[in-house]
Amino acid sequence: MAEEIKANVEKSDEVEDQETEQIEEPTAAEDIELNEIEALQQQSEEYLDGWQRERAEFANYKKRMERERQQLQHNIAGNIIRKYLEILDDLERALQNQPTDGDGATWAEGIELVYRKFLTALEAEGVVTMKVAGQQFDPNLHEAISQEPNEDLESGQIIEVVRNGYLLGERVLRPATVRVAQ
């Protein structure tokens, strides 16, 4: 019986050695399959990487187009509002010389009401009148039409606003036309 057990153990060792040899030494067909699998995995990784890049580029494209659309919208609004600022200037000039009595006073009150409504509508669109009287001259915000000697103010300080300037948000719609102390 001991000899039978010994013989069975030797047979099982031989079978295991044969199986190990078969596992360790793949056939030519198995080599081809493994190479194909590796190639396909590499190709799928390349496709995934390319797809992810294209998706990121498309997302960036959409963001850029949205920014450009908003910029265009702001430019169009600014151009339209600039045209109405000239009408606002005319209303301001009319109110500077308004009559104080008679039928002219009633008419001037109506013009002033229209002027205030117009200002309110512009403010609702984000247009703000620049407050520049007494400030230092800034060529980014102001347009000087003259320099005049003035003992009360420092050189470069604004003496008078000839025509109001306006901002749309942070952007200058129209610079203020001013007289500057020398």
104-159: per-residue pLDDT in tens?
Answer: 888 888 889 999 999 999 999 889 999 888 789 988 999 999 888 888 888 888 98
Radius of gyration over every alpha carbon of the chain, rounded to an integer in angstroms: 42
Bridge partner residues of 148 (DSSP): 181
| pLDDT, average across residues 19-40 | 72
Q: What DSSP element (H or E) covers 84? A: helix 28-96
- What's the start-to-end Cα distance of the chain, in Å? 126
Least confident piece of the model among 79-83, 91-95, 99-103: 99-103
53 has a pLDDT exceeding 70: yes
Least confident piece of the model among 8-17, 74-83, 94-103, 148-157: 8-17
Indicate the fold that domain 126-182 takes in CATH. Nucleotide Exchange Factor Grpe; Chain A, domain 2 (2.30.22)
Closest by Cα among 72, 88, 86 to 121: 88
Confirm whether pTM is higher than 0.85: no
102 has a pLDDT exceeding 90: no
Q: What DSSP element (H or E) covers 176? A: strand 176-181
Contact 141, 129 (CB under 8 A): no
Q: Where are the domains of the chain?
A: 41-124, 126-182
